[in-house]
C-alpha cells in the first residue's frame, strides 16, 4: 500500500469485487430456471465435498439488495457478476424465461442505483444441461448457441451495462471439465477436450462481434486465468510437463484470441477441428484483458493422465494460503509486466484472493489476518508492477462473499464477507475493513 513516500494509485484505478452466478445465487429451481451442468455434477456421488450443492448457496437471488449494500459500504466502484444462462434460457436456446431476465434487470438497476458500475460476464461455467445433452462445447454448434444467448443479453441489458466479458477462465473450465474430471461435465477425453477448446474460442469470437454490434459504447474483455507453471523437479520430463500445461493453462485461449494462432503443441493437436477462416473468427479486437491470478502451479508428469501432466507439490518451504495454494506475489508482478509486453491491452485483475477456513471468534468477529496478509502482498506487487510500467487499470477481489467453491463445496471460504450458511447472515471480515481502507486511501480520502 502506498505511503507518503511511495507514488499514489492512479486516480481512476477501478476497485471492485467479483462473484459468479452458480456460486452465490441459489434459487436453483425457482422462477423457471433449469439445471446447469453444475446442478447435475453436484448430484454425482463423491463429486463435491460433503455432497454440497448450489441449490441455495448465498441465496443472493433473494438477498441481492443486502449484498449490494455491503458493496456500497466497501466503497467499490465496480461489481463483476455473471449471468446464469439456464436462468434466462432454460433450454439453452429458443424462448427466454421472462422471470430470469427480470432478475438481471433488477440486479443491474440496484447496482447502478448504488453508484456501482456493473461488469457482466456471460459465462462462468454454468452451461444449461439441455445443451450438454446435445454435446455441449464438443459440438461446433455451441459457438452459435452462445452467440444467440449473447444477443439476448446484449439487447436486454446493453442500455445499462457497458462492461462485458465473454467467458471466465476458459482454460480452467475446459481442462477441468473435459480432461481431468475436476469440474462439470466431468469428462476425461483428449478429443472432447480439444474440441471444447476450439469451440469455446469460436464462441468467444462470435460473442465479441455480437456485443460490439448491439451494445453502444461497449467495453469488451475476456477473462483469463494466468499463473506461472513451474516444474516440481528439475528433470527433463517435469520441464516438458510444465511446458505442456503452460500451453493449456496460459496460452490456448489468449494467443488465438489476441495473436491469431495456437501455441505449438496445441496447434498440432487441434488441426482436426480447425476450418478455414476459424482463426480470423476467433481473433476479434477487444478492449481489455481480464486476469484471474492466485499463485503459481507446480507440475509433474502423469503418463496415465489424459495429458502427460498433473498438479505437483510446491517446495516444502513455500508460503501457502490456508487451503494450501502457494503464495508468490513476485510472480504476480512479473505476470502483469509480461502481459503488458505481450498483448498490449489494458489489464483488469478480475480475480485475486485467498481461501481459508474462517470462522467467528468468541465475540462473533472474523479475524482473517491470513487474507489481509495475502491481499496486501498481492496489491503491493500490483503497485510495483504499475510503477514498472504495467498497464493495469483495476483490481477485483475474489470474492465478495463466502460461496460455493466448486468441488470444495462450502468448506473453502474466499469471501471478505463471512456467510453463515445456516442463517444466511452476512458479517464483514477484518479483510473487508482492510479493503475499504485501501480503497479510501487509494482515492486520496
Ligand atoms: C477461479 N486452480 O477458479 C474461479 O473463477 C472462481 O469461480 C473460483 O471460486 C476461484 O478461482 C477460487 O478457486 C479456479 O486449481 C479454480 O489453480 C481452480 C484453480 C484456479 C482458479
* Within-domain flag for 81: yes
In angstroms, how far is CA 321 from the centroid of its own chain?
Answer: 19
Percent of the chain at pLDDT exceeding 70? 98
Contacts of 379-385 spanning 24+ positions with Cβ under 8 A: 379/1, 379/438, 380/1, 380/329, 381/329, 381/330, 381/332, 381/333, 381/336, 382/332, 382/333, 382/336, 382/349, 383/1, 383/2, 383/6, 383/9, 384/333, 385/332, 385/333, 385/336, 385/337
Is the minimum distance from the CB of 402 to ligand 1 under 6 angstroms? Answer: no
Q: Which atom of ligand 1 is nearest to the CA of 227?
A: 17
pLDDT at 358: 98
Q: Which atom of ligand 1 is nearest to the CA of 295?
A: 17
| Per-residue pLDDT reduced to its tens digit, 189-226 | 999 999 999 999 999 999 999 999 999 999 999 999 99
Residue 51 lies in domain? 14-442
Nearest CA to ligand 1 atom 16: 172
Is the minimum distance from the CB of 169 to ligand 1 under 6 angstroms? Answer: yes
Q: Is 86 left (phi over 0), alpha (psi -120 to 50) or beta?
A: alpha
* Within-domain flag for 3: no
| Per-residue pLDDT reduced to its tens digit, 378-405 | 999 999 999 999 999 999 999 999 999 9
Most ligand 1 atoms within 8 A of CB, residue of 294, 407, 408 to mutate? 294
DSSP 401: B
Is the minimum distance from the CB of 403 to ligand 1 under 6 angstroms? Answer: no
Is residue 1 scored above 60 in pLDDT?
no
Q: Which atom of ligand 1 is nearest to the CA of 353?
A: 12
Is the minimum distance from the CB of 351 to ligand 1 under 6 angstroms? Answer: yes
Beta-bridge mates of residue 298 = 230
- Taking the alpha carbons of 72, 77, 82, 87 in that order, is the dihedral positive or negative? positive
pLDDT at 345: 98
Helix (H) or strand (E) holding 323: none
CA–CA separation, 290 vs 355, rounded Å? 20
Is residue 2 scored above 80 in pLDDT?
no
* Within-domain flag for 145: yes
Is residue 180 scored above 80 in pLDDT?
yes
pLDDT at 7: 63
Confidence of residue 444 (pLDDT cuts 50, 70, 90): confident
* Within-domain flag for 242: yes
Neighbours of 268 (CB within 10 A): 9
3-state secondary structure of 28: coil
Distances (CA, A) of 433 to 151, 359, 365, 403: 39, 16, 12, 19
Most ligand 1 atoms within 8 A of CB, residue of 292, 299, 353 to mutate? 292
Q: Is 30 left (phi over 0), alpha (psi -120 to 50) or beta?
A: beta
Q: What is the CATH number of the domain that holds 258?
A: 3.20.20.80
Confidence of residue 300 (pLDDT cuts 50, 70, 90): very high
Q: What is the mean pLDDT of residues 128-137?
A: 98
Q: Is 200 left (phi over 0), alpha (psi -120 to 50) or beta?
A: alpha
* Within-domain flag for 240: yes
Is the minimum distance from the CB of 126 to ligand 1 under 6 angstroms? Answer: no
3-state secondary structure of 240: helix
**How much distance in Å is there from the Cα of 369 to the middle of ligand 1?**
21
Is residue 262 scored above 60 in pLDDT?
yes
Confidence of residue 336 (pLDDT cuts 50, 70, 90): very high
Count of CA atoms in the C-beta half-sphere (13 A) of 192: 19
* Within-domain flag for 232: yes
Count of CA atoms in the C-beta half-sphere (13 A) of 158: 18
* Within-domain flag for 2: no
Nearest CA to ligand 1 atom 8: 405
The annotated binding site for substrate is made up of 23, 124, 168, 294, 398, 405-406
pLDDT at 445: 75
b/e for 331-350, b at 16 or more Cβ within 10 A?
Answer: bbbbbbbebbeebebebbbb
Whether 198 and 273 have beta carbons less than 8 Å apart is answered as yes
Is the minimum distance from the CB of 335 to ligand 1 under 6 angstroms? Answer: no
Known catalytic residues?
169, 351
Per the structure, the count of domains in the chain is 1
CA–CA separation, 442 vs 445, rounded Å? 7
**How much distance in Å is there from the Cα of 445 to the middle of ligand 1?**
33
Is the minimum distance from the CB of 294 to ligand 1 under 6 angstroms? Answer: yes
* Within-domain flag for 331: yes
Is residue 6 scored above 80 in pLDDT?
no
Whether 185 and 199 have beta carbons less than 8 Å apart is answered as no
Amino acid at each position: 500500500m502506498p505511503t507518503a513516500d511511495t507514488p499514489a494509485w492512479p486516480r481512476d484505478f477501478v476497485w471492485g469485487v467479483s462473484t459468479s452466478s452458480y456460486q452465490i445465487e441459489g434459487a436453483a429451481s425457482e422462477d423457471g430456471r433449469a439445471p446447469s451442468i453444475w446442478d447435475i455434477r453436484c448430484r454425482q456421488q463423491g463429486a463435491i465435498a460433503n455432497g454440497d450443492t448450489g441449490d441455495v448457496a448465498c441465496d443472493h437471488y433473494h438477498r441481492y439488495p443486502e449484498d449490494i449494500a455491503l458493496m456500497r459500504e466497501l466503497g467499490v466502484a465496480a461489481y463483476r457478476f455473471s449471468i446464469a444462462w439456464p436462468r434466462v434460457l432454460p433450454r439453452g436456446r429458443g424462448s427466454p424465461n421472462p422471470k430470469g431476465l427480470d432478475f438481471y434487470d433488477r440486479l443491474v438497476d440496484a447496482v447502478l442505483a448504488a453508484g456501482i458500475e456493473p461488469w457482466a460476464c456471460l459465462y462462468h461455467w454454468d452451461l444449461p444441461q439441455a445443451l450438454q445433452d446435445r454435446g455441449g462445447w464438443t459440438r461446433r454448434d455451441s459457438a452459435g448457441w452462445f452467440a444467440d444467448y449473447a444477443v439476448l443479453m446484449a439487447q436486454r441489458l446493453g442500455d445499462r451495462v457497458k462492461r462485458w466479458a465473454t467467458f471466465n477462465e476458459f482454460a480452467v473450465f475446459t481442462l477441468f471439465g473435459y480432461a481431468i474430471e475436476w469440474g462439470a461435465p466431468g469428462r476425461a477425453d483428449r478429443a472432447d477436450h480439444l474440441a471444447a477448446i476450439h469451440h469455446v474460442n469460436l464462441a468467444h469470437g462470435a460473442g465479441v462481434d455480437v456485443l460490439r454490434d448491439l451494445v453502444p459504447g461497449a467495453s469488451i474483455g475476456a477473462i483469463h486465468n494466468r499463473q506461472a507453471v513451474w516444474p516440481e523437479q528439475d528433470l527433463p520430463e517435469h520441464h516438458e510437463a510444465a511446458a505442456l500445461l503452460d500451453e493449456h493453462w496460459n496460452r490456448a485461449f489468449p494467443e488465438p484470441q489476441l495473436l491469431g494462432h495456437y501455441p505449438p503443441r496445441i496447434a498440432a493437436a487441434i488441426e482436426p477441428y480447425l476450418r478455414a477462416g476459424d482463426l480470423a473468427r476467433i481473433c476479434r479486437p477487444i478492449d481489455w484483458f481480464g486476469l484471474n491470478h492466485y499463485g503459481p502451479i507446480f507440475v509433474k508428469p502423469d503418463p496415465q493422465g489424459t495429458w502427460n501432466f498433473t498438479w505437483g507439490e510446491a517446495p516444502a518451504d513455500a508460503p501457502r494460503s490456508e487451503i494450501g495454494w502457494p503464495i508468490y506475489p513476485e510472480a504476480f508482478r512479473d505476470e502483469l509486466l509480461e502481459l503488458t509486453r505481450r498483448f498490449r491491452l489494458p489489464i483488469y485483475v478480475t480475480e485475486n484472493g485467498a481461501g481459508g477456513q474462517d470462522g467467528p471468534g468468541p465475540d462473533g468477529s472474523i479475524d482473517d489476518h491470513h487474507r489481509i496478509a495475502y491481499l496486501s502482498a498481492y496489491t503491493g506487487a500490483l503497485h510495483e508492477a504499475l510503477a514498472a510500467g504495467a498497464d493495469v487499470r483495476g483490481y477485483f477481489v475474489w470474492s465478495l462473499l463466502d460461496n460455493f467453491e466448486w468441488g470444495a463445496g462450502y468448506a473453502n471460504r474466499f469471501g471478505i464477507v463471512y456467510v453463515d450458511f445456516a442463517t444466511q447472515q452476512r458479517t464483514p471480515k477484518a479483510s473487508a475493513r482492510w479493503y475499504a481502507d485501501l480503497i479510501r486511501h487509494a482515492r486520496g480520502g
